[in-house]
């Protein structure tokens, strides 16, 4: 599978930096209802094994299988193996998922992979230069956690550059990215601050063509209209975190990438968080309400369809885009 199948769906909505990126495999139409005027029956989703997902290069459902504790450990490990093989062939989404797991190791809930700074950096960097903007953000946070504020600033500013390129009408950034930039800025020396612009220009000059190719590639088949996610409804009650205090218990801004498997009725069959920044302290507070999301029904879709939902929380506010 070519890089950034997810991002073809997501970059059009990155203007608010919170988007819905939807992806589905081609589906066969279900039989129509026998009664005129009645809605068609919603078929049961077809069973999808790890070998079948790997054969079809269904990186999204492979990632969900690897991350979700609903699946037995051997099946999850098999999905990680399939993602690793996809990553070796340059699949930026698989690289992002693996890098995110190695970034946190046992800190993340239901982890199977250990913390590995070398592999986390390698996978996230490869995904970033292939146009995965989520990987750029994770890589900046990872560098900051490892006391490399200059590298963190370079990736954060590179992300801000492409964010602006995709959405030139947006004059001011919101959410997690500005806080990430501010935290990196506070740790830089004067000499490092002076070097940032040149270093960012160097990254763009060296990798810009590959990044833009990943962002705008249209080489893969488009999602089937039968399985397209068109509408999402938020849960009725979203939690409001306390304003951050001096104890630092709650970060000011949180960014997470939620991955869903949705059945033909629009119900969530499975879900998992790919990454949560700056850390996993607020996992339970956000995981529960986001598991209550409701997607549009796709009566003729015979498969579970994956959908990715980037969510940002910033000082008692959520930023989401309902597509």
* pLDDT score, position 309: 87
Which pLDDT does position 80 carry in this prediction?
A: 96
pLDDT score of 235: 79
Contacts of 258 (CB under 8 A, 6+ apart): 271, 272, 273, 274, 290, 308, 309, 310, 311
Q: pLDDT value at position 250?
A: 62
pLDDT of residue 135: 97
The dihedral over CA atoms of 172, 207, 93, 159, expressed in degrees to the nearest 10, equals: -10
Identify the pLDDT of residue 289.
85
Whole-prediction pTM value?
Answer: 0.82
What DSSP line would sit under 165-227, residue for residue?
A: HH-TT--S--THHHHHHHHHHHT--HHHHHHHHHHHHHHHHHHHHHHHHHHH---SPPPPGGG
Q: What is the pLDDT of residues 239-277, one digit of tens each?
A: 676 555 545 566 678 899 999 999 999 999 999 999 999
What is residue 171's predicted lDDT score, i.e. its pLDDT? 63
Under-70 pLDDT residues of the chain: 1-48, 55-57, 171, 218-223, 239, 241-251, 315-323
- CATH 3.40.50.300 holds for 5-25+48-224: no
List the domain boundaries for the chain. Answer: 5-25+48-224
Instruction: Calculate the alpha carbon distances from 24 to 3, 6, 42, 172, 305 in Å.
Output: 16, 10, 17, 33, 5
């Amino acid at each position: 599978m070519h890089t950034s199948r997810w991002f073809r769906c997501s970059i059009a909505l990155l203007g608010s930096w919170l988007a819905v990126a939807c992806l589905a495999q081609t589906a066969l139409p279900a039989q129509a209802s026998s009664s005129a005027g009645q809605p068609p029956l919603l078929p049961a989703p077809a069973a999808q094994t790890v070998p079948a997902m790997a054969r079809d290069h269904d990186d999204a459902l492979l990632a969900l299988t690897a991350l979700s504790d609903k699946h037995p450990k051997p099946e999850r490990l098999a999905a990680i193996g399939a993602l690793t093989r996809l990553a070796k062939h340059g699949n930026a989404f698989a690289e992002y998922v693996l890098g995110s797991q190695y970034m946190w190791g046992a800190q993340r809930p239901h982890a199977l992979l250990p913390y590995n700074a070398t592999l986390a950096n390698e996978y996230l960097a490869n995904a970033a230069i292939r146009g995965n903007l989520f990987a750029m953000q994770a890589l900046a946070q990872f560098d900051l956690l490892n006391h490399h504020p200059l590298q963190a600033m370079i990736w954060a500013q590179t992300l801000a550059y492409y964010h602006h390129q995709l959405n030139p009408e947006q004059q001011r950034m919101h959410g997690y990215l500005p806080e990430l930039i501010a935290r990196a800025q506070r740790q830089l020396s004067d000499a490092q601050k002076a070097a940032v612009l040149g270093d960012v220009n160097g990254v763009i000059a060296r990798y810009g063509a590959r990044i833009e190719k990943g962002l705008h590639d249209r080489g893969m088949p488009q999602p089937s209209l039968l399985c397209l996610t068109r509408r999402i409804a938020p849960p009725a009650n979203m939690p409001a975190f306390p304003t951050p205090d001096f104890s630092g218990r709650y970060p000011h801004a949180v960014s997470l990438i939620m991955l869903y498997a949705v059945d033909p009725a629009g119900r969530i069959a499975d879900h998992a968080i790919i990454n949560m920044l700056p850390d996993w302290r607020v996992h339970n507070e956000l995981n529960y309400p986001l598991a209550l999301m409701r997607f549009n029904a796709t009566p003729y879709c015979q498969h579970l369809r994956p959908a990715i939902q980037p969510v940002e929380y910033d000082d008692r506010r959520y930023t989401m885009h309902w597509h």
